[in-house]
């Protein structure tokens, strides 16, 4: 999943889905952790694990660890994960 992260924000949270620079959908997140020593990345994983109800160890940042644009991989049963993420995304899009 593609992410756009705002580190050093005033609060942690998911801001919804937006268009990325290339027009593809990205999940917008904000974290209070600063972008140093992997703190913001750890906060991203913590927020997503809680929101998606998966273990933190099943989420890996596979691209963009040093930038705002990131890609995460979630390990697990693909069918169950897709169902869970689809339901979750429908809930945040209703905001």
**Domains in the chain: ranges and CATH:** 2-93 (3.30.1200.10)
R_g of the chain computed on alpha carbons:
13
Q: What's the predicted TM-score (pTM) here?
A: 0.90
Q: What is the pLDDT of residues 13-69, one digit of tens each?
A: 999 999 988 999 999 999 999 999 999 999 999 999 999 999 999 999 999 999 999
Phi, psi of 77 (to 5 degrees): -70, 115
Q: What is the pLDDT of residues 9-20, one digit of tens each?
A: 999 999 999 998
User: pLDDT: is 31 or 86 the higher one?
Assistant: 31
Q: How far is residue 27's CA from residue 19's CA, in Å, rounded to a whole number?
A: 9
Q: How far is residue 81's CA from residue 9's CA, in Å, rounded to a whole number?
A: 28
């Amino acid at each position: 999943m593609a992410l756009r992260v705002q580190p050093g924000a005033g609060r942690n949270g998911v801001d919804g889905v937006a268009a990325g620079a290339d027009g593809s959908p990205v999940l917008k997140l904000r974290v209070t952790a600063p972008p140093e020593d992997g703190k913001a990345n750890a906060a991203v994983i913590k927020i997503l694990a809680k929101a998606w109800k998966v273990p933190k160890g099943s989420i890996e940042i596979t691209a963009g660890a040093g930038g705002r644009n990131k890609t995460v991989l979630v390990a697990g049963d693909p069918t169950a994960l897709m169902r869970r993420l689809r339901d979750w995304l429908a809930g945040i899009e209703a905001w």
